[in-house]
Structure 1
Amino acid sequence: MIKQLLVSTLAIAASMTISATTIKVWEGNTQLKGWSDNVSVPASEFTTASEGSKLVVNITVDMTLDPTINYTNLGVKTNTDGWPELDGTGFQNPTGTDASWDLNATAASQLKNTGLIIQGQNIVVTSVDLITAEDIDPNILFEGELVISGWNSGATINPSKLNAGDAIKYTFSAPGSADGQVLVKNSSWANLLGTAKIGYSDMATGSVVVGVTEEILQNANGSIFVQGDGGCTITKVERIPDAFNPTNVICYGERACGANVFTVIPEGTSKLSVVFAKMPTWAQICDNSWTALHSNDEATTVENSDGSVTMTFSITAEDIAKINNAKELVVNSDQKFISLNYPGAESAIESIEANDTNAPVEYFNLQGIRVANPENGIFIRRQGDQVSKVRM
């Protein structure tokens, strides 16, 4: 069931197209008194920039900021060493409420890869707009050709564009070398909690999904990007809205097993469950040194209707301490895993009592939460003492 939901959600997710429009990429109130002042806008805000787009800086002129001069200055630059000007642009001396620059292909690429620095004199910057040159899909977070090699990084996205339950889909045109890997990072360059390592076997499928959990959103710290080695090529990063139910989910997205999962387990947790794509011959929960903490012969195993298998492992306080010390564990098996979870959905569903044969029809999600208007998923249907699972 869980595997089918993953496949069907990604297959039917509709992309909404927006006509050429103004996108506000920054808003604030920053005084540019002189060259030591600047406004910085991250690359993640310019994923839709292209040749023909227009960059607009909305301003207020304030000649009192530097009374030693009787003019204004305003320039747009790349956020790289030395802050060189965006290609094809130049300084302006605005006297009105905005200044704008038409972007050529190189300037658009510079914004997408490095972000923007704005410098000037006697200017207060209030907002920055990007006017797109063509129709855009707001769910496209990155599009280009990023080769991951030598532990470089890129494909930065803004977590404010994501919600728990969304999926980030990375499209790979080439998987690179067999020993290659990609890690999802936060703005502090730490492995992003709630994600799993992406290996060669995952990239070789052509696309990889990273489910957005609450832990991811709490630990992104302003940006999400990838870093790795091996020569794989990422061509697109897109948001799949409402791809899964994030309740009790630690990590979501099919991976070849032997994958490192980065997380912190709450103290007092007694069980972890892993959903595998198929029945594994063997399975282990390991610490980050690949020492097995628990194996399948200790687990409770349930075969799901779609062919996937849920194994639930009991864990101890000592296990939690080992995992949390490294903020990492390893799911190891001979089958791919779909998600790592805190068990609870089954007990929540079982708590739905049926006590009135004449009661109206009620629907609940798989966590036992009542749903008024069920659609696009699998739900628990209850009418009186009749309880069943249905697809809507």
Structure 2
Amino acid sequence: MPEPLQSAWNRLQSREEPGLATRDNGQTITTSDGLFLFPLRIGSPQQMLNLIFDTGSGDFWVWSWLMPDTQTSGRNYYNGSNSSTATRWQGQSFGVDYSAGSLHGLVWQDAVWVDNIGVGGNPIECAQDVAPFFLNLEGADGVLGLSNAFNDSESPAPQQTWLTWVLPRLPASVFTVALSPKSMGTIDFGFIDSSKYIGTIAYTPVTIIPGTTGGFWAFNWTGFAIGDQKFNYTNIQVMVDTGGNISQLPQSILKKFFAQVKGAYQQSDGGWNFPCASAVPNLTFGVGNSRIVISGKNFIFNPLADGINCYSAVQGTSDGSYVYMNVPFLESIFVVHDYGAMRMGFANRTWT
């Protein structure tokens, strides 16, 4: 897992337990402080879990009955022994390492349903033990990795993502993401809903992040603009990830951004804060000749203890590194993940 994603996992906080709602068209997702969850059903009879959907990782793991009672007490978890369609994958195990902590367990196979999409015999990583970080992550019953098909942590037979299992059942090999700040969003599998964006969708090829073997949803933007300033034609790689809530820009771009935020200041550890009441400029990035606009309001994260300043939802990374684009960006735009063509599409949305 790339370091920016690990950092985002570390910073992710949940102050309230999200509620859930159902829809007839696409899959509803809910949020609390940038933690997006969606309902998923496993087994026969079906057991409902609320998972983080994470386009920046590949593992599909859940809280399970294999964990100690002290960890599952009062929580929602999958119980394979209560499912008539569950089977143990003999000899198969998994172990995921995050900078926030690790988890491990055994692999079972069972029927998995997301909205009206069902697949039998899907590998399910059933946790046996999790790090304290995950114990404190209320409302989340696991993670569904939606990276573009790099192997997960299973052993001795690594598997690809859940998405590869459902592709043959989809009308089109795409899924789209439309997140909303502090409210419900949607993720749609197999189709593109034209009512969820304005203008046209700008497509660009998926690129491989240097030092990796691929699998991440990444692309090259063609430049950026801060507020109403002139557009800077700069080709920079961008990793797109729904599993983090702190975005990152190269330091040279970030300093230009905060120069436009009255009262912005940098902490001794390098983190940026600014008065919560300050106007924050929009950020525009290029996809080919198209311009995609991010609301500056999305870059206000949690208020600090002084009650005046807020921690910024966009922080810095080294110049020469890629942009880490996650929830603060995605809450303004419509994103297409086109698995069949290995491309990404971006469109503007009407902000609420």
- The TM-score with structure 2 as length reference comes to 0.28
- Whose RCO is larger (CA < 8 A, sep 6+)? 2
Larger Rg: 1
